[in-house]
Amino acid sequence: MADCLFCSIVEGKIPAAKVYEDEWCVAFRDIKPQAPLHVLIVPRKHIPTLNDLTADDAELVGRLLLAAQEIARQENVAEAGYRTVFNCNAAAGQMVFHIHLHLLGGRNLGWPPG
Ligand code: AMP
Ligand code: ZN
């Protein structure tokens, strides 16, 4: 989609520190990390928010979580623990309107989140 930051990263038009990619998604380090490990797992398909998912996207969402599992292993946080988060719309602080799964790790993560 034109004018979408994450579509531009997926298409390689804007650089990012990629850590993983497959046929479903591209994953790269967050530019403003909130933990020692902070990766964004972004589907190749443009979907603005979680509210826009349909049943056709069921496999895509599962694939994002499998990518998170793989990256957590690769980055050595799988055993210690990590968190995955989708922010949806304003109250959750969504800033980029192309869904992305945050993968956070490398420190103790407080609960409840802010
Ligand atoms: P959200 O608030 O859930 O929409 O998260 C958007 C995330 O994208 C934030 O954590 C930003 O720091 C991150 N971000 C914004 N621009 C970039 C970029 N060019 N490369 C990597 N991460 C980015
Ligand atoms: Zn997009």
Tokens read off for 78: 């799988």
Q: Is 32 in the pocket of ligand 1 (CB under 6 A)?
A: yes
Task: Judge whether 28 and 44 are in contact, CB under 8 Å.
Answer: no
Q: Kindly report, residue by residue over 92-109, the tens digit of the pLDDT.
A: 999 999 999 999 999 999
Q: Return the percentage of the chain with pLDDT > 90, whole number.
A: 97
Q: Kindly report, residue by residue over 1-36, the tens digit of the pLDDT.
A: 889 999 999 999 999 999 999 999 999 999 999 999
Q: Is 13 in the pocket of ligand 1 (CB under 6 A)?
A: no
Task: Judge whether 30 and 40 are in contact, CB under 8 Å.
Answer: yes
Task: Flag whether the pTM goes above 0.85.
Answer: yes
At CA 22, angle to CA 56 and CA 39, rounded to 5?
95
Catalytic residues: 100
Class of domain 5-105: alpha beta
Rounded Cα–Cα distance for residues 16 and 38 (Å): 13
* Extents of the domains making up the chain: 5-105
Rounded Cα–Cα distance for residues 42 and 21 (Å): 9
